[in-house]
Structure 1
């Protein structure tokens, strides 16, 4: 029997932590008087661990034959690592706490995703229903914490985040293990697959798309608050982006029947070029910021749905796990880390507007790479 609510509860809690951490933790770091460069370095540890941890923990899962016990250990370890924030406020101590928390926290989601699909079996079409609870968790957390921080000190974020991490641990204990599917015969080696030009174009473009979002994920909340917007409005702006993403996810099956995945990706990258220029130079206009956030449905929702579809298509059989790991590591990991670090160095030196413009430039590079390398016939 499918443990629908157990899986949905885990996704709700997991993405609720992202809703607490991603928009607001930079405000906490700023309250500790860290520089923009310090904040970028600390936040980039999350992306760095997304390069290292999933592959390491995935290898351990393959060796031991289990997933959920590893997820439970990682949930406990990430909770303990986060608790170090309560006892340190200097850069070195916060660096260690961030590294430990990120290393174990990054291990969980790929293993839970695999567990979910194994529980679903032939009902893979129900994944979206389960995953949507993660988006709901993000929205609930980002809104409630945004309003709370209008009345509470920003340090209270530590207690709220700790509660969510404890909930993740409880949900991880609640989710049962699932059997593994029968492995299919490999049609090609991983090395042969990676040498194909359309694969290289896709992964290269994905790297630059995540780099384009670097300033957004590190400095967007700080940017809004410094320009006079309240923390509750910050929460609504993040929520607006996630809502647009949900709408796009729901529309993707219909869009896929009308447009090729290449066309969807090209539109998403073009939207990113426009979006980050709008954020950088239009911060004084709330309507411009609202439109820019609505474009998140394209720059993340449509982009991610199309990219992951192509990865599943081009990495068949047992290569799918390797393809998904590489996609996450090269894009959200390496690309996000480079984009976040660079934004930390440019934020104070050339200003926020030009920092976001650099992000627009990254998206443009990805767009050109796609146009030249991701040829339509290779999609089929």
Structure 2
């Protein structure tokens, strides 16, 4: 007899976890701007959590694989995330905020990869149900960007750290509500052939280079798009709704992704994602003042994140054996974090000196470069 999946317990964790992402991605740079930091300092502060994404998943993933105590790591990471972030109430100097960003991100990025393993262990052979659970993460993101956008239309941004801390307490509560589970292959023998040998297979390194370039191209978007739109006269409430529109498009794309991967090759899906990303950044850099163009650009989030991420996960699954999936996913997270950090840094330095249009043009070139690499280095292969 099959064991019932703790659907709502698992879903609640994804809900609160991505509520926190919805609170940081659109509004963190806005808060630093409220504190009076320059665009260069904002870019550096936003880059720090992304750099932690390069380190934390590998370290905590190794510890989870060795100990098997994944749920304990999730609970410890959730608690330390809140405790580290609470330091933001003690000071607002650049050095102190950099330390707070590094500390809370180090533990925050430890949480999700371990929880993904727990979720899939609960599902067992019912992996098709994963999307119904993960969907609540997108719902949490949407609720947060819309809710905080409306809140900051009439309330001061001084309330922003309190809102994030409340979300972190929700993550802690959800982590203690979830029962533990271990993957079936936890004690399986390692397969023949090392990780590096699989990494040297044709097209694999090229794929990871493209991951880095794609996330680099997102730098201006995740760091400055809220400030950019506010400068163009959009209200914070509307900006929150525009962020939510992108995530809704992403969710709808996920629903049809199995059909797309059945009809088109991974190379075609990835190349289309990169090309549409190049278009999106040009539109945001030059024509975001036109609401119709802006709405279309936000709908392209379905490609720049949705189809890209889904195809990338498929590629990693196909490229590495079962016991090396964790290393493949960790490398994916690390290079995505590296690219995101580089994107935040360059956009911070170029935003004030070159302006939004050129900053987004550089992002567009990075995405276009990824499209060229994937079309020339990755062989045609159906998912």
TM bucket by the smaller chain? over 0.9
Structure 1 residues 242 and 184: alpha-carbon distance in aligned structure 2, compared to 1, 3 A threshold: farther
Q: Write out the 4+ residue segments of structure 1 that deviate beyond 3 Å after TM superposition.
A: none
1:119-130 equivalences under 5 Å are 119-130=122-133
- CA-to-aligned-CA distance 1:296-322 (integer Å, 9 cap, x gap): 101110010011101101112111111
Taking the aligned partners of 2:192 and 2:361, their CA distance within structure 1 comes to: 42
Contact 1:79/1:162 (<8 A) preserved: yes
Q: Which runs of 5+ in 1 are unaligned?
A: none
Q: Which residue of 2 aligns with 1:107?
A: 110
Secondary structure of the equivalent of 2:183? coil
CA 1:184/1:274 → structure 2, altered by over 3 Å: closer, same or farther?
Answer: farther
Aligned residue number for residue 222 of structure 2: 217
Partner of 1:152: 155
* Matching residue within 16, 21, 37 for 1:34: 37
Instruction: Select the residue among 15, 18, 35 that pairs with 1:12.
Output: 15
Q: Which runs of 5+ in 2 are unaligned?
A: none
Deviation at 1:185, TM superposition (A): 4.6
Compute the TM-score of the two structures, normalised by the length of structure 1: 0.98
Aligned to 1:83: 86
Show the 5 A alignment for 1:116-265: 116-182=119-185, 183=188, 185-265=190-270
Q: Does 1:272 align with 2:284?
A: no
> Which residue is 2:49 aligned to?
46
Q: Show CA shifts across 1:321-341 (max 9, x none).
A: 11111111112x111111111
Provide the aligned length of Structure 1 versus Structure 2: 378
Give the Cα separation in 1 of the matches to 2:8 and 2:289: 43
TM-score between the two structures when normalised by the length of structure 2: 0.97
Q: Is the 8 A contact 1:268 1:302 kept in 2?
A: yes
- CA distance in 1 between counterparts of 2:59 and 2:166 reads 27
Out of 109-118 and 179-188, give the one that drifted further.
179-188
RMSD: 1.1
Q: Is the 8 A contact 2:266 2:315 kept in 1?
A: yes
Asked whether the 8 Å contact 1:187–1:316 carries over to 2, the reply is no
Q: State the partner residue of 1:355.
A: 359
Distance 1:10 1:174 in 2: 9
The separation in 1 between residues aligned to 2:215 and 2:367, in whole angstroms, is: 9
